Amino acid sequence: MSSKLDALNAWVAEAAALAKPDAVHWCDGSQAEYDALIADMLQSGTLVALNQHTHPGCYLHRSNPADVARVERLTLVCHPQEADAGPNNHWMDPAAAHAKIDAMFDGCMRGRTMYVIPYCMGPIDSPLARCGVEITDSPYVVANMRIMTRMGAAALARIERDGSFVKGLHSIGELDPERRWIMHFPAELAIKSFGSGYGGNALLGKKCHALRIASYQGRTEGWLAEHMLIVGIENPQGEIRYIAAAFPSACGKTNLSMLIPPEGYRRDGWKVWTVGDDICWMHPGEDGRLYAINPEAGFFGVAPGTNRKTNPNALETISHDTIYTNVAVTADNQPWWEGLPGTPVTDWQGRPYDPANGPAAHPNSRFTASVRQCPTWTDQAEAPQGVPISAIVFGGRRASLQPLVVQARDWTHGVLMGAMMGSETTAAAAGAVGVLRRDSMAMKPFCGYHYGDYFTHWLDFDRPAAKLPAIFQVNWFRKDADGKFLWPGFGDNLRVLEWMLKRVEGGATGKPTPIGTVPAPGELNLEGLDLEPGRLEALLTVDQAGWQAELADVETYLESFAPRLPEALRRERDRIAQALAASD
């Protein structure tokens, strides 16, 4: 073998010597390999076949009930200096971390096969793509990685060309929550994950590599790794503009990335193209614009709430060749979750369904399917240079305060908007649901280094020749006094995206407010939408006292990143606070 693979071979040998598997299997990514893995998992009970007439190629995995979400307290970012991890991460000294987790890996694969998975995050020939190798003892992880990444022989060939890759060592261990760690060593481009088989903890190409490690790599190399969907909006003239949007987990990124335009828009010829639903890597291009790729090749989406009305494209995507995790099952063995028609008979734990046990599908139950199965998938997702981004959107789940849409006045204001994002927590992470927490750029669980340095890195993109995207803040989740959502969301969100693109192209003047620009009366296209009188005003209201309180809270939050908080953000916050006070 060539010397470029020596480092890989040596690392695999070292991992095998530590974990002591019965066999080592190098994954080639072929269909035959995938089929054989599925057959083995059906035999061992790791997978259950679903109704092959209604859902060909679909299987169900029921995970350990104590292993259904990411666990932030067990997720560590191990920089040599604790200060570099920042208050936004849990930290352990790298040497201590290695020692702790290596003791768990010692002999953990006895009686198991160790799989070596070469993978590429991004189009295989893209200069923006980066490779990794995951070693795991979970065939479920292998099957998911084949859907979620460009995995196998082509990735190995690229690793051989590049000579570098991210090392990910994973074992499900005993799935014991007491013996579980997800550790990142950004300076070593390494990940070690033990004791969990759940998506974000175990599919190491996803959050661990494409966000935590890549955010750090991006800072060193001058690009951004973000928790963003990428969607193309085609207008009736056939022009396509791309938008990248950050939302915390389980806030509708998948839905927004493949939305169906409202009827009037469809009639007029508007189309939506899906590039990615979760992760976006953005590099400045030679023309000064930001170009984005989706490093992933699949969707690992939240099942509950996905239905004909909310996301028909997702339903179509997952109607075949999909791995389901922790959903319920109907009498005729179809996958089922809350929001679908039909009746569950078996719950996500495999028990006869009883409402007394809670929802039939786990609230964080998931589907894994290739992006290519999505009716709105575009081959621009394979463009090696990426797609140019016209607008960046930050969105949270806020029952009050945050207007439907606000545009930042410039890049610095936009970075502040991202930094001060707040959102009510969801089931994607273990812990209480519905609690407001700050989640800067939706990266709180995923930024692999100090948030203060990360804000500085964002601000640094504002250079003389840069042609940066406009930045907007949205909130689809604002409620009225009775707790009802004010905005219909889903396909109608295109109305808001259209306004953003008009702003970018100079086709809307907007209405200035102390917190940014909102749509002027008449600028949001509401044709065909039955909004009760006063609703739009309620959606766009800037509650002055509420915002003053918000900015006071933001100040405390931002200062938690001192002394690394960039002064520009402090000044920007002060400017808005003064504008609010002046509008009193």
From 15-23, 138-146, 151-159, 200-208, span contacting ligand SAT (CB under 6 A)? 200-208
Q: Is 362 in the site for ligand SAT (CB under 6 A)?
A: no
Task: Mark the segment that binds ligand SAT (CB under 6 A) among 199-207, 343-351, 467-475, 516-524.
Answer: 199-207
Among 122, 152, 195, 199, binds ligand SAT (CB under 6 A): 199
User: What residue ranges in 401-486 does DSSP mark as E strands?
Assistant: 405-407, 422-424, 436-438, 470-474
Choose between 70 and 167: whose C-beta lies nearer to ligand SAT.
70
Residue 284 binding: pick among Mn ion, ligand SAT, none (C-beta 5-8 Å cut-off by kind): none
Residue at shortest CB range from ligand SAT? 200
* Tokens, residue 18: 């530590």
- Binding partner at 206 among ligand SAT, Mn ion, none, C-beta below 5 to 8 Å by kind: ligand SAT
> In degrees rounded to 5, what are phi and psi of residue 577?
-60, -40
The correct pick among 171, 249, 310, 364 for binding Mn ion (CB under 5 A) is 249
Distance in Å, CB of 62 to ligand SAT, minimum: 16
Pick the closer one to ligand SAT by CB: 296 or 498: 296
Angle CA(116)–CA(119)–CA(120) in degrees, nearest 5?
Answer: 165
Residue of 118, 132, 197, 200 that binds ligand SAT (CB under 6 A) = 200
* 294 touches Mn ion by CB under 5 A: no
Give least dist CB 40 to ligand SAT, A: 24
Instruction: Spell out the residues 6+ positions from residue 274 whose beta carbon is closer than 8 angstroms to its own.
Output: 231, 232, 257, 258, 313, 371, 374, 376, 377, 378, 381
Is residue 453 close enough to count as binding Mn ion by CB under 5 A?
A: no
Contact between 241 and ligand SAT by CB under 6 A: the answer reads no
* Residue nearer to Mn ion on the CB measure, 67 or 277: 277
CA distances from 212 to 182, 326, 378, 414, 440 (A): 11, 26, 27, 22, 14
The residues, ordered by sequence, that sit 6+ positions from 334 with a Cβ below 8 Å of its Cβ are: 50, 51, 54, 55, 342
Number of amino acids touching Mn ion (CB under 5 A) = 2
Strands, E, within 16-122: which ranges? 23-26, 48-49, 59-61, 75-77, 113-121
Residues 486-525 interacting with ligand SAT (rule: CB under 6 A): none
Phi, psi (degrees; rounded to nearest 5) at 159: -60, -40
The residues in 294-313 that bind ligand SAT, with binding defined as CB under 6 A, are 300
Q: Which helix (H) or strand (E) holds 572?
A: helix 567-582
Catalytic residue (choose from 120, 251, 280, 447): 251
CA distance 276 to 254: 8
Report, in Å, the least distance between residue 264 CB and ligand SAT. Answer: 33
Residue 579, number of CB atoms within 10 A of its CB: 15
Specify which residues 336 forms β-bridges with.
328
Q: Nearest distance from residue 176's CB to ligand SAT, in Å?
A: 19
Shortest distance in whole angstroms from residue 478 CB to Mn ion = 22
Contact between 70 and ligand SAT by CB under 6 A: the answer reads yes
Of 186-215, binders to Mn ion (CB under 5 A) are none
* Closer residue to ligand SAT in complex, CB, 324/547: 324
Binding test (CB under 6 A) with ligand SAT, winner from 55, 61, 62, 207 = 207
When binding is defined by CB under 5 A, the residue of 134, 226, 278, 492 that contacts Mn ion is 278
Whose Cβ is closer to ligand SAT: residue 204's or residue 494's?
204
Nearer to ligand SAT among residue 206 and residue 283 (C-beta): 206
Tell me which of 126, 249, 334, 346 binds ligand SAT, using CB under 6 A: 249
Catalytic annotation present for 208: no
Distance between CA atoms of residues 321 and 198, nearest Å: 20
Residue among 224, 269, 263 at smallest CA distance from 244: 224
Sequence-separated contacts (24+) of 284-290 with Cβ below 8 Å: 284/222, 284/223, 284/461, 284/466, 285/385, 285/386, 285/388, 287/467, 288/465, 288/466, 288/467, 288/468, 289/388, 289/389, 289/467, 289/468, 289/469, 290/224, 290/388, 290/389, 290/461, 290/468, 290/469
CA angle 507, 512, 514 (to 5 degrees): 150
- By beta-carbon proximity to ligand SAT, the closer residue of 46 and 75 is 75
Per CB under 6 A, residues contacting ligand SAT are: 70, 199-200, 206-207, 249, 300, 428
Where in the sequence numbering do the catalytic residues fall?
251
